[in-house]
Amino acid sequence: MNRSRILSLTLVFLFVAAGCGQKPGVAPPLAGGLPEGATVNAQGEVVDSSGEVIGTVDDLAGTTGGDLTGATGTTGSGTTGSSTTTGSGTTGSSNTPTGSGTGSNQPSGSESPAPSGPEPSGGDATGVTNDLIKIGSHAPLTGAAPVPSDSAQKGADIYWKWLEHNKESVNGRRVEAILKNDNYNPSQAVAVCKEMVEKDKVFLLSGLAGTDQIQACARYAASVGVPYLSAGVTTNGLDGLPNYFATTMTYADQAPMLADYIINKLGGADEKSGMLRFETPNFEDAHQAFIGAMQDKGAPVAYDRAVPKQAGSTEAQTVVQEMKTAGIENVFVLTSPVWFLQVLQAAKTQQYTPQWVGIGITMTFDTVATVGCRNGTLDKSKFFAPFPAWVDSDKYDPEYRQAVHAIYPDNNPQKRDGDDFVWLGYASSKGLASMLALPGKDLTRERFVYFLERARNLKTGILPPNSFTPDDHFGADQVHVNEAQCSVDNRWHTIQSFVSDF
């Protein structure tokens, strides 16, 4: 076969492949992300504001970059393309990943795993009965990154109650969620995890936020063979734990992305950038990753500052003075939210208004934006987050508000739609539901770990999709970008979604 015939055949193949992969009239508007006013319905279809189906989630998946909302807060597609809302149907879909659903409805989409090796049968089914799965969570309901306890409890419960409300279950079982306060303290985290394992007899544990607490509790869980899921925080002490799974990107993985973001999106190549962090070994991987990435991009960090976890107002004023004197224009903050608020207050007093950026979970709670906007210089700050902003929840899962209205009816307009803690709890539970369904009716800790290690592309449409392997328990590679919009409503707004590259 001569060269020209090979070339011709290749071109024909490419045209055919391109034609098969696109639906006329659909691909162009969705290639850059979710269009303005569009949402994803329970069937995984993308519908516009008039309710007309304009595509499917598959048309959105796989692309990267792009904006959900512009700087002015209006929606629109970005210049670099974007993967946006993926996954789907909270209810009604029967997208059972492992074929053992026994008639249950699975809440999220996923690709069928391809099990390798012997599938375990039986095992430890503590916390599982014929009609119930008991799970335990810990969160800082008090301490330096407080989550309101009533909202946190609602968040822990809402999705499971919503399933019951719709006469649905996880393979015939309802789920009971127990939530305990770790006080943003690793010792207390281990104590409450131990209590949930030994006294409450939970099937698995999960951690909402707080690096040191998650690490401490995950290590305890590993020592007693209990599956443990959390947001990705650090690999330090967690990498290699057989029962640990991170459902969002770790700080160390996000840090180089943040460096890209500063350089490519914020124009930081010619500006002075700095990093402000708490002095804990669990932030060291993220610290090194960020410093290295900035160095590689030819924009070495000009200010690298560690402060003790007990830092107070003195340290806040000191670092602000240092950064102002050094002319730092972009500041990556990796501290507790409460101390960050002190820094913002000090920055306001000193008329210091850098571009604040960061990663994490608790930083993007709306209470931080509300206080930071009014008392500090948070406006236009941009933070990576595993979950989209609460105000944008309708764009990702309209059923969330329906669930809140049905499960926690409240006539108070400010409480009617829940809050970001409820929203995060809903999203996390939705993801967990799809994971709990993987082993089918025969749910044991061993089978849960086995199937989760082989799960591919578990989607909620809210949190980043998860794919795990037996060697890699860190399952996410995408983030949302949330921006504090003080001039709009003192809340976080999502300006980019499901992004893995800048």
Partner 1 sequence: MRTAIVTGALVALIAAILFMGAGDPTGPNSYVVIGLSQGAVYGLVAIGLVLVYKGSRVFNFLQGEFGTLGAFAVFLMVQQWKVGLPYWACALIALAAVTIIGIGFERIVVRPLLNAPRITVLVATIATALFAIAMELLVFRPEPKILPPMVDSLFGKKGFEILSFTLEPQRFLIVLVLAGLAIGLGYFFSRTDLGLAVLATSQDPFATRVVGIGVERMSRFIWASAAFLGALAGILYVPLTGALTPGAMTTGILIPAFTAAVIGGMTSLPGAFVGGLTVGLVQSLSNWAANHYTLGDRLLQDIIKGAPDVALTLALLIVLLARPQGLLGKEA
Residue 175 and residue 431 in contact, taking contact as beta carbons nearer than 8 Å: no
**CA dihedral over 380, 386, 390, 393, signed as positive or negative:** positive
Among 269, 326, 405, 487, the residue binding partner 1 under the rule CB under 8 A is 326
Decide if residue 334 touches partner 1 (CB under 8 A): no
| β-bridge mates for residue 325, sequence order | none
Decide if residue 313 touches partner 1 (CB under 8 A): yes
Least Å distance between CB 409 and partner 1?
Answer: 21
Residue 89 and residue 166 in contact, taking contact as beta carbons nearer than 8 Å: no
Decide if residue 344 touches partner 1 (CB under 8 A): yes
Cα gap 289→284, rounded to integer Å: 8
Beta 382-385 vs 303-307: how paired, if at all?
Answer: unpaired
Q: Which is nearer to partner 1, 264 or 350 (CB)?
A: 350
Decide if residue 317 touches partner 1 (CB under 8 A): yes
Least Å distance between CB 303 and partner 1?
Answer: 9
Among 85, 254, 273, 345, the residue binding partner 1 under the rule CB under 8 A is 345
Report the candidate in 120, 93, 129, 123 with the shortest Cα–Cα distance to residue 108. Answer: 93
Report the candidate in 501, 366, 499, 365 with the shortest Cα–Cα distance to residue 34. Answer: 499
Which residues inside 388-417 make contact with partner 1, applying CB under 8 A?
none
> With CB under 8 A as the contact rule, which of the stretches 20-28, 165-173, 187-195, 301-309 interacts with partner 1?
301-309
Residue 41 and residue 28 in contact, taking contact as beta carbons nearer than 8 Å: no
**Residue 238 contacts by C-beta under 8 Å, 6 or more apart in sequence?**
214, 215, 218, 219, 244, 246
Q: Which is nearer to partner 1, 120 or 148 (CB)?
A: 148
Q: Mutual orientation of helices 399-407 and 420-437 as an angle, nearest 10°?
A: 100
Which x/- pattern over 351-370 shows residues binding partner 1 (rule: CB under 8 A)?
Answer: x---------------xx-x
Which residues inside 134-173 make contact with partner 1, applying CB under 8 A?
141-143, 146-150
Q: How far apart are the first and last CA of the chain?
A: 42
Q: Say which residue the tokens 């539901």 belong to.
A: 433
Query: Nearest 5°: CA angle at 373, between 368 and 379?
Result: 105
Report the candidate in 366, 413, 356 with the shortest Cα–Cα distance to residue 393. Answer: 366
Q: Which is nearer to partner 1, 67 or 419 (CB)?
A: 419
| β-bridge mates for residue 474, sequence order | 246
> With CB under 8 A as the contact rule, which of the stretches 80-88, 251-259, 313-321, 481-489 interacts with partner 1?
313-321
How many other C-beta atoms can be found within 10 angstroms of the C-beta atom of residue 485?
24
Decide if residue 341 touches partner 1 (CB under 8 A): yes
Among 343, 407, 424, 484, the residue binding partner 1 under the rule CB under 8 A is 343
Which x/- pattern over 245-284 shows residues binding partner 1 (rule: CB under 8 A)?
Answer: ----------------------------------x-----
Least Å distance between CB 318 and partner 1?
Answer: 4
User: Which two structure tokens, joined as six digits, stand for 27?
Assistant: 């691909």
Containing 204, the helix (H) or strand (E) segment is: strand 204-207
**CA dihedral over 213, 198, 196, 443, signed as positive or negative:** positive
Burial class (CB within 10 angstroms; exposed 0-12, middle 13-18, buried 19+) of 246:
buried
Q: Which is nearer to partner 1, 142 or 500 (CB)?
A: 142
> With CB under 8 A as the contact rule, which of the stretches 93-101, 112-120, 245-253, 304-312 interacts with partner 1?
304-312
Decide if residue 81 touches partner 1 (CB under 8 A): no
Decide if residue 17 touches partner 1 (CB under 8 A): no
Least Å distance between CB 284 and partner 1?
Answer: 11
Q: Which is nearer to partner 1, 337 or 439 (CB)?
A: 337
Cα gap 73→483, rounded to integer Å: 10
Q: How many residues make contact with partner 1 (CB under 8 A)?
A: 45
Decide if residue 306 touches partner 1 (CB under 8 A): yes
> With CB under 8 A as the contact rule, which of the stretches 74-82, 226-234, 237-245, 372-380 interacts with partner 1?
372-380
Q: Which is nearer to partner 1, 214 or 276 (CB)?
A: 276
The residues of the shown chain that bind partner 1, judged by CB under 8 A, are 141-143, 146-150, 279, 304-306, 308, 310, 312-319, 321-322, 325-326, 337-338, 341-346, 349-351, 367-368, 370-372, 374-376
